Amino acid sequence: MDDLREQYLRANQYRDLAFVERPYLGSPGAPAQDESNTSRLWAHLNGGFLMAHEYTRWWEESRALRTTAVLGDWSWLNKVRITGPHAEAFLDRISAKSVLSQQVGATRFTPMLSAAGRIAIEGVALKLADDDFLFTQSGAQFWLPLQAQRLGMDVHLADQTPDWTCFALQGPQSLPVLEAVTGESFADLRFSRWRRTTLFDTEVIVQRQGVTGEIGYEFLMRTDTGRAHELWRRIRDVGRDVGLRELGYRAQMIGHTESNVPTVIRDYLPDRFPADKLPRFARLWATDDELAALDHDLTEHLVTPAELGWSRAVDLDHDFVGRDAVRAEADAGGPTRRWRALVWDADDVGELFAAQFRDAPAPPAPDQAWGQFRLQFHRVRRDGEAAGWASAAAHSPTLRRMVSHARLDAGLQPGAEVTVDWGFPGSPTWRLRATVSEQPLLPDHRRDDPVAAAAARGE
């Protein structure tokens, strides 16, 4: 698969090659995905990767996540291999979550911070062997080398983004599909654990992981044999017996909002650029008009782990970049804002849609499952006064409501009534009512015993 790696490297030469010279490249599963991508549309994601926009209908795909199973493609996430005699020490130093107790066969959520204690990048690290980790998250191929250079540690970093798939099988029926595909039992595999298997004469790591709030598994298959599309096809075809649907990009992010998954760009900005460079980064995700209309500084959206509800992912008893700032925040009583959800008023949202068919000016209605990483932070108000930000707004077919994430003043408790400023440059701004809710909006089943869960459903 040298050709895939060459295309990937060319696609990432943002500053050296013109746009027309940088290739698009299909996911390793693209030949099979093309068979069922009825939208005939492909989203352009990290490093030139293309992803099917909508396989069947976005609302059917979203509901299947909660009722049967879905197969989604996260292969576009960057993957960096960390090896060398100081690999563990290096990862421990740059991660707010210590990895010193992490065992081979385990996966750990490892948020990484700036010196100011704000999120620079976050992802998961698989421990493959002693001093051998695979870290997955967008931007890792840039951030990790910068940290290695700054710390001067003996560590080898290799961008392996095109070398592995990340096919996510998620939902209540994911275990029987997994076992039918592999011919092996995975009932005893706990959350954030992984094991190796072989499919289509190719090494595959199966990890129990996911960002959907459901029991789920991810297939990290080596791409060098060129058989990843056969794996995608087998999972899809086997899963049809239980109602599995492929999950397109249009519906993919609905699950993030329903399941309390803060996502960079959609919910916050990463603190890995000088303040004067942040607008340039934000321009990738917003129009010039939208940025010009901002009435606040973009640094407002740089956040600490506690502000996103990630305090449990921080180990203050080990030395890591940003620890002093995190400790100071905790000593001061915690962040001034807390991570919440908002359930938007159905009548107000309905009126917004109805207004599109009347003569009076009105802001545009929310896109139905827009699915893109667009920079959209909407001001939240309590009794007319600014009280935080709403983000990642999505129409949930499962909840039958417009819902969103929110970073709100710490004093705002679940049940509080607020309004959300909804408007765009050149349009009026409406204040839509919403109710503050706890996170997540749906029960978190990621750590459930899949056998017991099936029995409880009468299966």
Condensed to tens digits (0 to 9), the pLDDT of residues 48-75 reads 889 999 999 999 999 999 999 999 999 9
Closest CA to 152 of 207, 61, 84: 84
Alpha helices in 138-265 (DSSP H): 140-151, 174-182, 228-239, 249-258
pLDDT at 46: 74
Residue 329 has pLDDT above 90, yes or no: yes
Alpha-carbon separation of residue 322 from 4, 108, 141, 302, 325 (angstroms):
37, 19, 20, 14, 6
Q: CA-to-CA distance for 446 and 99, rounded, in angstroms?
A: 21
Question: Is residue 218 part of an annotated ligand binding site?
Answer: yes
Alpha-carbon separation of residue 168 from 1, 92, 193, 281 (angstroms):
22, 27, 15, 28
- Among 40-54, 255-269, 419-433, which stretch is predicted with the lowest mean pLDDT? 40-54
Residue 267 has pLDDT above 90, yes or no: yes
The contacts of residue 127 (CB under 8 Å, 6+ apart) are 99, 102, 103, 104, 105, 106, 107, 108, 133
Query: Tens digit of pLDDT for each residue in 200-219?
Result: 999 999 999 999 999 999 99
DSSP state, residue 56:
S
Q: CA-to-CA distance for 34 and 28, rounded, in angstroms?
A: 11
Handedness of CA 23, 26, 8, 212 (dihedral sign): positive
Phi, psi dihedral angles at 168 (to 5 degrees): -105, 115
CB 457 within 8 A of CB 219: no
82 φψ region: left (φ > 0), alpha (ψ -120 to 50), beta (else): beta
pLDDT at 83: 98
Alpha-carbon separation of residue 285 from 85, 263, 265, 306, 374 (angstroms):
39, 13, 8, 25, 5
Query: Tens digit of pLDDT for each residue in 372-382?
Result: 678 899 999 99
Q: CA-to-CA distance for 385 and 392, rounded, in angstroms?
A: 21
Q: Delimit the CATH 3.30.1360.120 region(s) of the chain.
A: 2-75+164-258, 275-437
Region 122-140: what's the mean pLDDT?
Answer: 96
The contacts of residue 400 (CB under 8 Å, 6+ apart) are none
pLDDT band at 110 (very low <50, low <70, confident <90, very high): very high
CB 7 within 8 A of CB 49: no
Q: CA-to-CA distance for 415 and 423, rounded, in angstroms?
A: 25
Q: CA-to-CA distance for 24 and 48, rounded, in angstroms?
A: 5
Of residues 347 and 2, the one with the higher pLDDT is: 347
pLDDT band at 370 (very low <50, low <70, confident <90, very high): low
Residue 209 sits at the vertex; the CA angle it makes with 205 and 212, to the nearest 5 degrees, is 140
pLDDT at 102: 98
CB 1 within 8 A of CB 162: yes
The contacts of residue 365 (CB under 8 Å, 6+ apart) are 352, 353, 355, 356
pLDDT at 12: 82
Instruction: Count other C-beta atoms under 10 Å from residue 116's C-beta.
Output: 14
Query: Which residues sit opposite 164 in a β-bridge?
Result: 222
Q: CA-to-CA distance for 329 and 306, rounded, in angstroms?
A: 9
How confident is the prediction for the chain on average, in pLDDT? Answer: 94
Burial class (CB in 10 A: 0-12, 13-18, 19+), 21: exposed
Expressed in angstroms, the distance from the first to the final Cα of the chain is 42
Q: Which CATH superfamily is domain 2-75+164-258 in?
A: Probable tRNA modification gtpase trme; domain 1 (3.30.1360.120)
Instruction: Tell which CATH architecture fits domain 275-437.
Output: 2-Layer Sandwich (3.30)
Residue 106 has pLDDT above 70, yes or no: yes
CB 339 within 8 A of CB 307: yes
Phi, psi dihedral angles at 401 (to 5 degrees): -145, 160
pLDDT band at 25 (very low <50, low <70, confident <90, very high): confident
Closest CA to 262 of 329, 223, 317, 310: 310
